[in-house]
Amino acid sequence: EPEVTQTPSHQVTQMGQEVILRCVPISNHLYFYWYRQILGQKVEFLVSFYNNEISEKSEIFDDQFSVERPDGSNFTLKIRSTKLEDSAMYFCASNPSTDTQYFGPGTRLTVL
């Protein structure tokens, strides 16, 4: 069964450094998302991506964040200058233009 994959599973970085989190959505899906979950808190929507552009973003998704779909398979989230409060699990999800979203296993980002 196809699944969403994410790399790396765990990323440790120093404050102020740039990180890129990578996702491979399910191949025939059309909508792509990034969510984050700070430890002990709820899963929060960051951004949705459709037809090669951002379709919606939350207040969290400020200028330090960007997303790209550099080729036909990868979907990336870049954080330009990481802060301590960016430490969280980041989940990629995709859907085939239905309501059902399929989540990847997540990347744990630790900012020191």
Residue closest to 91 by CA, chosen among 74, 78, 108, 79: 108
Four-residue CA torsion sign, 97, 103, 107, 109: positive
Residue 24 in the binding site for another protein (CB under 8 A): no
Exposure string for 42-78, b = 16+ CB within 10 A, e = fewer: eebebbbbeeeeeeebeeebeeebebebeeeeebebe
Closest contact distance (angstroms) between CB of 77 and another protein is 15
Closest contact distance (angstroms) between CB of 64 and another protein is 20
Residue 104 in the binding site for another protein (CB under 8 A): yes
Interface with another protein (CB under 8 A), residue from 27, 55, 64, 81: 55
Q: Residue 104 belongs to what H/E stretch?
A: none
Residue 68 in the binding site for another protein (CB under 8 A): no
Q: Phi, psi (5° rounding) for residue 59?
A: -65, -25
Interface with another protein (CB under 8 A), residue from 7, 11, 13, 45: 45
Residue 61 in the binding site for another protein (CB under 8 A): no
Residue 102 in the binding site for another protein (CB under 8 A): yes
Rule CB under 8 A: which residues touch another protein?
31, 33, 35, 41-45, 48, 50, 55-56, 89, 91, 95, 97-106, 108
